[in-house]
Chain A
Amino acid sequence: MTAYLDHAATTPLRPEALDAMLPYLTEHFGNPSGSHAVSRQAKQAIEEARDVVAWGLGCRPAEVVFTGGGTEADNLALFGPLGVETVACTDVEHHAVLHSVLARGGQVVPVADIATTQADLVSVMLANNETGVVHDLPHVKGLLHTDAVAAFPWLDVAALAAHADLVSISAHKFGGPKGVGALAVRGGVRLRPILHGGGQEADRRSGTHNVAGIVGMAAALKATVEQRAATVERVGRLRDRLANGLLAAIPGARETGERATKTAGNCHLRFPGVESESLLVLLDEAGVCASAGSACASGAIEPSHVLTAMGVPRDEALASVRLSLGSTTTDADVDLALKAVPDAVARLR
């Protein structure tokens, strides 16, 4: 048996999403930018999807820009807005934001200082992808962007990010397909595209639409939002059982972040003296899919900048594991992890 506990990396495709996508991978193959009947079918599908995504993000349909994923949405948010000279973000952002801000010569500041940082555009993630820690989005003078990619499965993004000018999401984190995402661009924010071409998405993002992907994202988003409260309730209990069980079973184990401030699916633990890399190999052999830190281009695990920013010592950062639960996680998954993780830690100590 395999316990997939890496939902923060990606999630299995929801059946609703697959069912919604299949016609657009087969008979309804049209390019929505055309003018004939086959095209019109595709065009209608993405506009219906736009309505659903707008509902999920709490914005108007015209404010939704479909992108090729969360990274592109973050890049568009940071490079696109007109009239922005200076940008800033927190030091716990996902690399898609962090590296974009650095590429723009922007400031990277501690979470505690972001609310008072002077910049034309400030980016603050809603929930952290590694630790699950949720941030209050500040009210800033300039534009506010939030990377809501890790938050979306768990939090009412429409409400919590209601005052954000720009909001990024990625479909595959909530049961949609990979390679599709969206950026909500509210009100008066005018965007210069970063991808130039045919002028799709009201000249904000060129490129032929990934019709099936967009339709799949909308179906997954609808199911996610409708079931969110129940999922948070159910998965939160599973996560608490997992985290409490491991903290009790493994001497010296520490939890990253205050439980009450974390998303329901995140179980991030540190086992001082145990190397994450070794732990992941043994967990893999035992059928538990987990992760640690962030994988670099080679696949090697790098010490997490997020843990470093939180003040976790380097050796302890390299002794961490992230078990991330999702809407398909079961009691059996938790049972397997509750056995496999203590066994593996004991072997490595």
Chain B
Amino acid sequence: MRVLAAMSGGVDSSVAAALLLAQGHDVVGATMKLWGGDSDSGCCSVADVEDARRVAQQLSITHHVFNFGDDFDAHVVAPYVAAHAGGSTPNPCVECNRHLKFDRFLVRARQLGFDAVATGHHARVVSVAGRWRLRRGADAAKDQSYVLHMLGQAELAQTLLPVGEMTKAAVRSYANELGLRTAAKPDSQDVCFITSTGGRAEFLGSRIPLRPGRVVDDASGAEVGRVDAVELVTVGQRRGLGPLSGDPRRRYVSAIEGDTVRVSDVAPTVSGIALGRTAWVDQPAAPGTPVLAQCSAHGSPVAATWDGERVQFAKPQRLVAPGQSVVLYDGDDVLGGGLALPA
């Protein structure tokens, strides 16, 4: 097959390209230039593009750089900022996969005559009875199926995830064997366009006016503290609200209403959550389907039922911040997912 391998400059996508080459595919590498601003590393820095280019040279494959900065701004950064401004907690990696890697990049690959794209994600694409399934990666600790849940049959049919069968340790050891320069490169963390020095506060603060807010105890109605920016507070958050007066017990953010952050001394729970913008790997799950629901990138899946609009948890669960992706599984296979709507 002619495969266009998305090479971020990290070890996983380096090994993905190398594996495809070893399997006899005709491989071309491409790095997406997504973010022009400051970055610790992640997917977008010049150094990462250079790493990808050098790995491609080591593998003797052609390498291109695609400038998708406009699309990244429009489909990932702007919605991220808007979501925070509106009091929800977006997952930009999900939107990047949805709009960039498996739309813009995939469409370009098709245009250029490639049969498939490949990435270094830890997840598996499996064919069962003529239908494509998206399965958790073999390395449970590194599984990334959560951020790929929006892939449908059309995308999966042209997607190869070569490292999904490997553990991270095996990926690194293979990279070492081949002498790839990215073998020991640290895993990327967090959001690629937010620096550890400035953080979310600086990023959002330079784009939207941040509103100071009151922190109010849910039970008594008394003001117990203040925050500099309600946009930086997440529903369910337990830390980082600053000193709160009164009861020294741990407080949880139970709701954000305008400029008011409501806190409670018991972890707020919900029996279910409605999902918007649902996307399905195959047919939409029928109402009444028992599922395992995962409510954050590294969360544990919990038993639930999909009723067609809502995930009904078998046992009450911690609040899910609006805007977070909730992904539904059948065992290790992704059924689909959506964004948590405000409770």
Residues of A whose CB lies within 8 Å of any CB of B are 275, 277-278, 281-282, 284, 296-302, 347-348
Contact = CB atoms under 8 A, between A and B. Distances in A.
Given A300-B33, A347-B111, A347-B113, A281 B64 contact: yes
Nearest to B4: A281
Given A281-B112, A347-B113, A297 B67 contact: no
B64 A298 contact: no
A300 B111 contact: no
Contacts of A282: 112
B266 interface: no
A281 B112 CA distance: 8
B33 A277 contact: no
B112 A302 contact: no
B29 to A, nearest CB: 12
B112 A299 contact: no
B108 interface: yes
A159 B138 CA distance: 71
Contacts of A277: 64, 66-67, 108
A91 B106 CA distance: 36
Contact of A299 (B65, B69, B108): B65
A298 B33 contact: yes
Interface residues of B, number: 16
Given A277-B67, A302-B67, A297 B46 contact: yes
B53 A299 contact: yes
Given A278-B108, A347-B113, 11 more contacts: A275-B108, A277-B64, A278-B111, A284-B62, A298-B50, A299-B53, A300-B49, A300-B66, A300-B69, A301-B67, A302-B67
A326 B112 CA distance: 29
A89 to B, nearest CB: 24
Contact of A298 (B62, B65, B112): B65
Nearest to A297: B46
Interface string B24-53: 000000010100000000000010011001
Given A277-B64, A281-B64, A298 B49 contact: yes
The 6 residue pairs across chains A and B that have the minimum distance between CB atoms: A300-B33, A300-B67, A298-B49, A299-B65, A300-B65, A298-B46
Nearest to A299: B65
Interface in B252-289: none
Contacts of B113: 347
A282 B4 CA distance: 13
A348 B66 contact: no
Contacts of B108: 275, 277-278
A297 B49 CA distance: 9
B27 to A, nearest CB: 14
Nearest to A280: B64
Contacts of B50: 298
**Chain B CB within 10 Å, residue with most, of A278, A282, A298, A347:** A298
Given A299-B49, A299-B65, A348 B33 contact: no
Interface in B50-73: 50, 53, 62, 64-67, 69
A284 B65 CA distance: 13
A318 to B, nearest CB: 8
A298 B32 CA distance: 10
A275 B66 CA distance: 11
